[in-house]
């Protein structure tokens, strides 16, 4: 768990963030990124580490076919950095993106057999 002292109006107190909260913010930012899917697992492919230099994030995603992978990775890094730093007082030190696989579009279903004048389907074969 990480904590940070934040005193916006001279109030005394302390705000604590745990890794699950920061992971939740990362998930929200990933859901806003077009062309990727989250890894279907309990941890969703996200590892957060709090260090003295800032937060180190290790994120694994699945890319959709047709998207430029380096551009996707850069977009993820920028979105995660902006959202985490705006929603918490932590700084992002490093974000590593791992593209685990590429999802291809589903093949179109085979067309049904044409119907005759009575609306019945013709039998082929």
What would the pLDDT profile of 39-98 be if each residue is shown by its tens digit?
887 767 899 999 999 999 999 999 999 999 999 999 999 999 999 999 988 899 999 999
Beta-bridge partner residues of 61: 38, 99
pLDDT at site 8: 60
CA-to-CA separations, 60 to 7, 8, 50, 104, 122, in angstroms, rounded: 35, 35, 18, 18, 49
- What are the structure tokens assigned to 93, written together? 């030190």
Q: What is the SS3 assignment for 90-124?
A: CCEEEEEEEEEEEECCCCCCCCCCCECCCCCECCC
Domain ranges of the chain: 13-103
Burial environment of residue 37 by CB neighbours within 10 A (0 to 12, 13 to 18, 19 or more): middle
Burial environment of residue 68 by CB neighbours within 10 A (0 to 12, 13 to 18, 19 or more): exposed
Q: Could you say which architecture CATH assigns to the domain 13-103?
A: 2-Layer Sandwich (3.30)
Whether residue 117 has pLDDT greater than 90: no
pLDDT at site 57: 94
Confidence band of 101 (pLDDT split at 50, 70, 90) = very high
């Amino acid at each position: 768990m990480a904590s940070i002292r934040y005193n916006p109006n001279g109030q005394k107190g302390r705000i604590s963030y745990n890794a699950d909260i920061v992971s939740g913010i990362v998930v929200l930012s990933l859901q806003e990124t077009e062309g990727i899917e989250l890894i279907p697992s309990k941890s969703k492919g996200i590892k957060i580490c709090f260090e003295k230099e800032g937060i180190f994030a290790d994120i694994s995603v699945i890319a959709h076919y047709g998207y430029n992978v380096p551009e996707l990775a850069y977009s993820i890094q920028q979105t995660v950095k902006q959202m985490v730093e705006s929603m918490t007082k932590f700084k992002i030190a490093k974000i590593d993106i791992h593209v685990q696989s590429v999802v291809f579009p589903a093949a179109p279903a085979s067309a049904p057999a044409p119907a005759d004048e009575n609306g019945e389907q013709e039998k082929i074969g």
